[in-house]
Amino acid sequence: MEPLNALVAFANFVLVPATAYGAQLALGALGVTLIYGILRFSNFAHGDTMAFGTMAVIMTTWGFQALGISFGPLPTALLALPVGIVACALLVLGTDKLVYKFYRTKKAVPVTFVIASLGVMFVMNGLVRFIIGPDDQLFSDGERFIITARDFKTLSGLDEGLAIKTTQAITVVVAIIVVAILFWFLNKTRTGKSMRAYSDNEDLALLSGINPERVVMYTWLMVAALATIAGTLYGLDKSFKPFTYFQLLLPIFAAAIVGGLGSPVGAIAGGFVIAFAEVTITYPLKKVLGYALPESLEPDGLVQLLSTDYKFAVSFVILIIVLLFRPTGLFKGKSV
Amino acid sequence: MTNAYQDDRGNKDASITKRGTPSTMSPGTATGERSHTQDAFLIGDSMTGGYGQGPDILHDCTIAVNPGEIAVIVGPNGAGKSTGMKAVFGMLNLRKGAVRLDGEDITALSPQDRVVKGMGFVPQTSNIFGSMTVQENLEMGAFIRTDDKIVETMEQIFELFPILGDKRRQAAGELSGGQRQQVAVGRALMTKPKVLMLDEPTAGVSPIVMDELFDRIIEVSRTGIPILMVEQNARQALEIADRGYVLVQGRNAHTGTGKELLADDDVRRSFLGG
**What is the pLDDT, as a whole number, of residue B10?**
66
**What is the pLDDT, as a whole number, of residue A272?**
96
Interchain pair A194, B144: CB under 8 A? no
Interchain pair A197, B112: CB under 8 A? no
Whether B86 and B62 map to the same domain: the answer is yes
Query: Does some domain include residue A271?
Result: no
For B27, residues 6+ apart whose C-beta sits below 8 A from its C-beta are none
Query: Does some domain include residue B220?
Result: no
Query: Which range of residues forms the domain containing residue A151?
Result: 3-248
**What is the pLDDT, as a whole number, of residue B16?**
65
Interchain pair A194, B130: CB under 8 A? no
Whether B139 and B274 map to the same domain: the answer is no
Convert the pLDDT of each residue in B145-184 to its tens digit. 888 889 999 999 999 999 999 999 999 999 998 899 999 9
Of residues B26 and A27, the one with the higher pLDDT is: A27
Rounded Cα distance between B65 and B103, Å, is: 12
With vertex at residue B52, the alpha carbon angle to CA B49 and CA B57, rounded to the nearest 5 degrees, is 35
**Cβ–Cβ under 8 Å, residues A38 and A216:** yes
**What is the pLDDT, as a whole number, of residue B78?**
82
**Cβ–Cβ under 8 Å, residues A242 and A266:** no
Whether B270 and B150 map to the same domain: the answer is no
DSSP A55-122: HHHHHHHHHHHHHT--BTTB-THHHHHHHHHHHHHHHHHHHIIIIIHHHHHTT--HHHHHHHHHHHHH
Amino acid at A237: D
B144 lies within 8 A of chain A by CB: yes
Q: What percent of chain B has pLDDT over 90?
A: 36
DSSP A240: B
SS3 labels along B108-133: CCCHHHHHHHCEEEECCCCCCCCCCE
Other beta carbons less than 10 A from residue A298's beta carbon: 13
**What is the pLDDT, as a whole number, of residue B269?**
80
Residue A157 has pLDDT above 60, yes or no: yes
Other beta carbons less than 10 A from residue A172's beta carbon: 18
ipTM of this model?
A: 0.83
Whether B250 and B114 map to the same domain: the answer is yes
Which chain B residues contact residue A193 at CB under 8 A? 132, 136, 139-140
Give the residue on B whose Cα is nearest the Cα of A186. B132
Whether B201 and B111 map to the same domain: the answer is yes
Task: Give the total number of structural domains in chain A.
Answer: 1
Interchain pair B136, A193: CB under 8 A? yes
Convert the pLDDT of each residue in A195-235 to its tens digit. 999 999 988 998 888 999 999 999 999 999 999 999 999 99
Whether B114 and B240 map to the same domain: the answer is yes
With vertex at residue A32, the alpha carbon angle to CA A27 and CA A33, rounded to the nearest 5 degrees, is 95
Query: Does some domain include residue A266?
Result: no
Whether B56 and B154 map to the same domain: the answer is no
CA distance B239 to chain A (A): 30
Query: Does some domain include residue B10?
Result: no
Interchain pair B111, A194: CB under 8 A? no
Q: What mean pLDDT comes out for the span B26-42?
A: 71
Interchain pair A196, B187: CB under 8 A? no
B150 lies within 8 A of chain A by CB: no
Boundary of a domain, candidates B192, B216, B250: B192
**What is the pLDDT, as a whole number, of residue B33?**
60
User: Among positive and negative, which fits the CA dihedral B15, B17, B21, B27?
Assistant: positive
Give the residue on A whose Cα is nearest the Cα of B123. A204
Query: Does some domain include residue B266?
Result: yes
Task: Give the total number of structural domains in chain B.
Answer: 2
Residue A283 has pLDDT above 50, yes or no: yes
pTM for this predicted structure: 0.85
Query: Does some domain include residue A133?
Result: yes
Whether B62 and B179 map to the same domain: the answer is no
Convert the pLDDT of each residue in A104-145 to its tens digit. 988 888 899 999 999 999 999 999 999 999 999 988 888 888
Looking from the CA of A324 toward its CB, the CA atoms found within 13 Å total 6
Which B-chain residues 178-197 have CB contacts (< 8 A) with chain A?
Answer: 187, 191
Query: Which range of residues forms the domain containing residue B186?
Result: 124-192
Convert the pLDDT of each residue in A222-269 to its tens digit. 999 999 999 999 999 999 999 999 999 999 999 999 999 888 999 999
Query: Does some domain include residue B145?
Result: yes
